[in-house]
Amino acid sequence: MKKKFHCEVDCANCAQKLQDALSKLDGVDEVSVNFMTRKLTLSAADERFDEVFDAVVKKAQQIEPDTVITA
């Protein structure tokens, strides 16, 4: 499943760092953080999607505390 979320990050470099770190997470097939469109696109297996998404949000907060991710 591929889903898009609204994602606010402070700077383009932060978005890149976030994307690098998030793509290493377990269960994430593909993730992209787009600074310009403020979109986070996450691909993960259907049955694990919610769990993976929670992990993504948690990791994002850890790396960039200012990150806001909403549906």
Which residues form the interface with another protein (CB under 8 A)? Answer: 10-13, 16-17, 32, 34-39, 41, 62-63, 65-66
Least distance (Å) between residue 34 CB and another protein? 6
Nearer Cβ to another protein (48/59): 59
* Residue 14 vs 48, nearer CB to another protein: 14
Three-state helix/strand/coil letters over 12-34: HHHHHHHHHHHHCCCCEEEEEEE
Contact 64, 18 (CB under 8 A): yes
Please list, in sequence order, all residues whose beta carbon lies within 8 angstroms of the beta carbon of residue 51, skipping any fewer than 6 positions away.
27
Q: Looking at beta carbons only, is 36 or 48 nearer to another protein?
A: 36
Residue 70: CB minimum distance to another protein, A: 16
